Amino acid sequence: MSSTSNIPANTPHILVLGMGGTIAGLALNPEQTPMQYQAGQVGIEALLGQVQSAIPQGIALVSRQLANIDSRNLAEANLTDLGIAVREALMDDSVKGLVITHGTDTIEETGIFLQVTCGKLAQTQSKRVILTGAMLPSNAPGADGPSNLLDALRWASTSIENCPGGIFAVMGGKVCMAMDLAKRHARALNAPIQDSPNSPIRLVKPSWLSGVKAVQAAWNEDLPIPQAGEWPWIEILTSHAGARPETVVQWLKSDVQGLIVAGSGQGGIHDAWVKPLDQAMAQGIALVRTTRTGAGATLQNIPEVDSIGCCASGSFTAPRARIALQLALNAAKQANLVGKPLTWQDFFARIADLPEVW
């Protein structure tokens, strides 16, 4: 294991970026109450120290602490810093792959962010960027962090012939595309990946690999990373029984730039919200419709014809659709500044219409 200060210049290495999370958490009483803990307490070098003896020979590591937070508090500025660090590393010939330790609560947001802003670069540079985390704090009996970290390090350094470069996630002995992460269980050890299209890391499934290659073939240009102060303000609303129009009307009085509506079933929106949401779009507020169910694609004009300008989220959950909309709005703004007449809908469709991996 190496740190930035003592590795010889230009030594080929895996860069490990620490973002905090449960994998870096500590429980006050790990034997009795391991789920009462504080996330983001242990530094990345200490986490690597826990697995140092098991790291395969020939793998040089460099670690860098970008943040050490509870991921429920993830901010857009954290994503900007991470995206810039990942892009710089992908362009560094001495970096052969990246591992990012991250909290699982918002790992799905980071997964789609990295795919959309760094996915093509990772592919063309033939490097893997691996997100990993844990569901148990680092000092809990049977903590899952060390094994997940080791698996991520191995996957980042595995021969590129086994799987192309790209943005992936590794947990519980499985690998998925990071954009497919979705935490749908509060406590299961592999919660962020258990319902995602995945493959065992030690024997890659041909069907999964074919899906990965289809996504990469369709994704032909990364979107710009918003600067810390340039992220559009987007909120998520969940349609429900007894919904009132006032819920939407209140947002019309704000500076919000977009709304994600998690509808019932196939993304259906309560009748009480239809008129104020149309008014929101008339005011220039971007609107994306998804499903509150947590699984299954939301399709354009299903179950009813969408209002002009409203986009469906495809297979993305509301948190991922929110990040996608932020990046689409920013990309449209940057394109318009250089005279390209592209809309946020153009960019959002590029993201939402990516092939699904099975």
Binding residues for substrate: 71, 104-105
Question: Which two structure tokens, joined as six digits, stand for 14?
Answer: 């895996």
CA angle 165, 228, 41 (to 5 degrees): 75
Question: Which residue numbers are catalytic?
Answer: 22, 104
Residues 6+ apart with CB under 8 A from 307: 277, 278, 281, 287
Q: Checking DSSP bridges between strand 258-263 and strand 234-238, what pairing results, if any? A: parallel
Query: Measured between alpha carbons, how far is residue 313 from residues 288, 290, 324 in Å?
Result: 6, 5, 9
According to DSSP, residue 173 is labeled T
Q: What letter represents residue 216's amino acid?
A: Q
List, as residue ranges, the binding site: 71, 104-105
| 116 close to 153: Cβ distance less than 8 angstroms | no
Angle at 338 between CA 333 and CA 342, to 5 degrees: 50
Going by C-alpha positions, the residue among 86, 81, 74, 68 that lies closest to residue 16 is 86
From CA 292, how far away is CA 181, in angstroms rounded? 16
Q: Give the whole-angstrom CA distance, residue 173 versus residue 202.
A: 8
> Are the CB atoms for 227 and 327 separated by under 8 Å?
no
Evaluated on CA atoms 144, 147, 150, 151, the torsion sign reads negative
